[in-house]
Amino acid sequence: MNIGIIVYSETGNTLSVAGKIAETLTAAGHTAEVRQVTIEKREKTDASVRLKDIPSVDGFDLLIFGAPVQAFSLCAQMALYLKQLPDIGGLPVGCFLTQGLSKKWMGGNRAYNTMRKRLLAKGSAEPVRIGHVHWRSEERDEQIADTVSRAAKFAATAV
């Protein structure tokens, strides 16, 4: 199966989880490619987000989206990317989040719900929540391992 992992990562945390997911999926016999959403540098006085790299999702059999939670919501960069995403024609979709704050109710649930609604509006199958990593948690390594494991199970059952 050809799997696209589309992420926005500001600090490298989300990208590192995506890399571990890709390694595990590749070891399981899939083709997995991480594609990163990037933004144009902006002046401190310019609060608007402008995307620089807008990864295509063409050619994939399954998609996984990853993003950080910022300001108790889905980061603006991924929200804008998902808004601009073309119709994805019913593809199976999984989502994971990274977050500095320690509880999902501190923005994680809202962020996931935003991802879910935007992906459904683009024609995806019901998105599967495959993981949530709280970066400051003492259980961070276990949360990463669980996210990677759930991504592998999602790919295996989405065939």
pLDDT, tens digit, 9 for 90 and up, residues 41-52: 665 555 677 788
Residues of the chain with pLDDT below 50 are: none
pTM (two decimals): 0.92
Q: Which domains does the chain have, with CATH numbers?
A: 2-157 (3.40.50.360)
Which string of DSSP letters, residue by residue, matches the chain? -EEEEEEE-SSSHHHHHHHHHHHHHHHTT-EEEEEEEEE----TT-----EEE----TT-SEEEEEEEEETTEE-HHHHHHHHHPPP-TT--EEEEEEESSS-GGGTHHHHHHHHHHHHHHTTPPPPEEEEEEETTSTTHHHHHHHHHHHHHHHHHH--
